[in-house]
Chain A
Amino acid sequence: MNRNEWPLWEIFIRSQHGLAHKHVGSLHAADSEMAIKNARDVYTRRNEGVSIWVVKSEDITATAPGEKTPLFEPANSKVYRHPTFFPMPDGVKHL
């Protein structure tokens, strides 16, 4: 790790019409408070959001693209698990 650079943070923003925080990008900051303020300045200039989460990039563990097959393909063929057979009533949102 390059000790002369600030740590990298991943930024998640929830818009005022959304329910979930979305990943919008990353930035450098010395600590979490500064990360929030930098995220506010860099990623909410155009009224993109009302809530900010910041996570140090090194704290995120992600799946590797090479593991896609064993991790995700088995679920594809198990049709009985997919929630696609319910008739949706009109007017029900967010399901």
Chain B
Amino acid sequence: MKMHSRTEPMTADRRLFEYLLRLADSDLVLAQRLGEWVGHGPVLEEDIALTNVGLDLLGQARLWFAYAGDVEARIKGKGRSEDELAFLRDGGEFRNLLIVEQPNGNYADTMARQLYFDLWHRLLLDALTRSRDARIAEIAAKAEKEVAYHAERSADWVIRLGDGTDESRARMQAAIDDLWMYTGEMFEADDTEEALSGEGIACDVRLLAEPWRNAVAAVLKEATLSVPGGAAMQRGGKLGRHTEHLGHMLAAMQWLQRAYPGAQW
């Protein structure tokens, strides 16, 4: 199903700015979610490991935001800083996928969310290393190495929890099933992305659906879990239509910068 973008004419730079925000926002929101696990991990080693993943994603978000700011400067004469983009936009302006704003839940929920996102993210970044936009390709090349590790880690956990005790398998299957409806959005392209991928700048995410499904199926098979069915999918994140969870998360993330604008440590 094609989604419709805004009706004002999109120049190449506006499309690029929009696209970069989508990449940055998914990384930022997921990093924030993973940060909520700090000090609450099941064991110390996992606490460190999961927050490392979050820090990696935050670093990638910064690279995308920095580029977005530069593109915005071309459009409007002055671009926003990374902090302004991250902390001063409202929920309706965020362009992240719906899956990353879902709450952490229990560890199975968090790992299911990571598995779905990391496998998509790895395929996406691999494609973006071949982007005609040199800066996108450069950022993707750096990020790809980090995300290859994230995907391995997430798969490891889903396998261990799935092929674990009766309780861990039940919880892992429930998590896999519950988040399935947020995975369709990862493979939908609107006019903006169609145009950009036509120019070789963005990745056509529709092409990622099959390799992603195969990768997920392989992991779930080893985890002795069943692949969810169901074609009904939630969507809208890339257009700023979010679930009720994003607002609460942004309030916690942004209140300091909004209460004390320009505050620095």
- Residues of A at the B interface (CB closer than 8 Å) are 6, 27-30, 33-34, 37-38, 40-42, 45
Question: Is B1 located at the chain interface by the 8 A CB criterion?
Answer: no
Closest CB pairs A-B (n = 4): A41-B49, A38-B45, A27-B45, A41-B52
Asked if A28 contacts B45 (CB within 8 A), the reply is yes
If A28-B44, A33-B156, A41-B48 are given as contacts, then 19 extra A-B residue pairs at C-beta distance below 8 Å, sorted by A number, are: A6-B43, A27-B44, A27-B45, A28-B45, A29-B45, A30-B160, A34-B160, A37-B49, A37-B152, A37-B153, A37-B156, A38-B46, A38-B49, A40-B149, A41-B45, A41-B49, A42-B45, A42-B48, A42-B49
Which residue numbers of B lie inside 8 Å of A, CB to CB?
A: 43-46, 48-49, 52, 149, 152-153, 156, 160
Chain B residues, Cβ within 8 Å of A40: 149
Question: Is chain B's interface secondary structure helix, strand, loop, or mixed overall?
Answer: helix
Residues of B within 8 A of A6 (CB): 43
CA separation between A29 and B157, bound complex, in Å? 12
How many angstroms between the C-alpha atoms of A67 and B66 in the bound complex? 61
Point out the residues of chain A lying under 8 angstroms from B48, CB to CB. Answer: 41-42
CB distance from A4 to the nearest CB of B (A): 12
Question: Across the interface, do A28 and B156 meet the contact criterion of CB distance under 8 Å?
Answer: no
Given contacts A41-B48, A41-B49, are A34 and B156 in contact (CB under 8 A)?
yes
CA distance A45 to B43 in the complex (A): 18
Contact of A45 (CB < 8 Å), options: B52, B152, B156, B160: B52
A42: which B residues are within 8 A, CB to CB? 45, 48-49
Chain A residues closer than 8 Å to B44, beta-carbon distance: 27-28
Question: Do A28 and B52 contact each other (CB < 8 Å), given the known contacts A34-B156, A37-B156?
Answer: no
Give bound CA distance, A33 to B155, whole Å: 12
Tell which of A27, A29, A41 has the most Cβ of chain B within 10 Å.
A41
A-B contact pairs, 27 of them (CB 8 A): A6-B43, A27-B44, A27-B45, A28-B43, A28-B44, A28-B45, A29-B45, A30-B160, A33-B156, A34-B156, A34-B160, A37-B49, A37-B152, A37-B153, A37-B156, A38-B45, A38-B46, A38-B49, A40-B149, A41-B45, A41-B48, A41-B49, A41-B52, A42-B45, A42-B48, A42-B49, A45-B52
Residues of A within 8 A of B45 (CB): 27-29, 38, 41-42
Compute how far the CA of A38 lies from the CA of B153 in the bound complex, rounded to whole angstroms.
Answer: 10
B50: nearest chain-A partner, CB-CB: A41
Q: How far, in angstroms, from A38 to B49 measured CA to CA in the complex? A: 7
- Which residues from chain A contact B160 at a C-beta distance below 8 Å? 30, 34
* Chain A residues whose C-beta falls within 8 Å of the C-beta of B46 in the assembled complex: 38
Q: Report the bound CA distance from A69 to B52 in whole Å.
A: 45
Q: In chain B, what residue has the closest Cβ to A35?
A: B45
Q: Nearest chain B CB to A26's CB is how many angstroms away?
A: 10
Residue of A at shortest CB range from B152?
A37
Shortest C-beta distance, A12 to chain B (Å), equals 17
Least CB distance from A2 to B in Å reads 14
Complex CA gap A29/B52 in Å reads 17
The residue in chain B whose Cβ has the minimal distance to the Cβ of A30 is B160
Residues of the B chain whose Cβ atoms lie less than 8 Å from the Cβ of A29: 45
- A37 proximity list for chain B (CB < 8 A): 49, 152-153, 156
CB distance from B16 to the nearest CB of A (A): 34
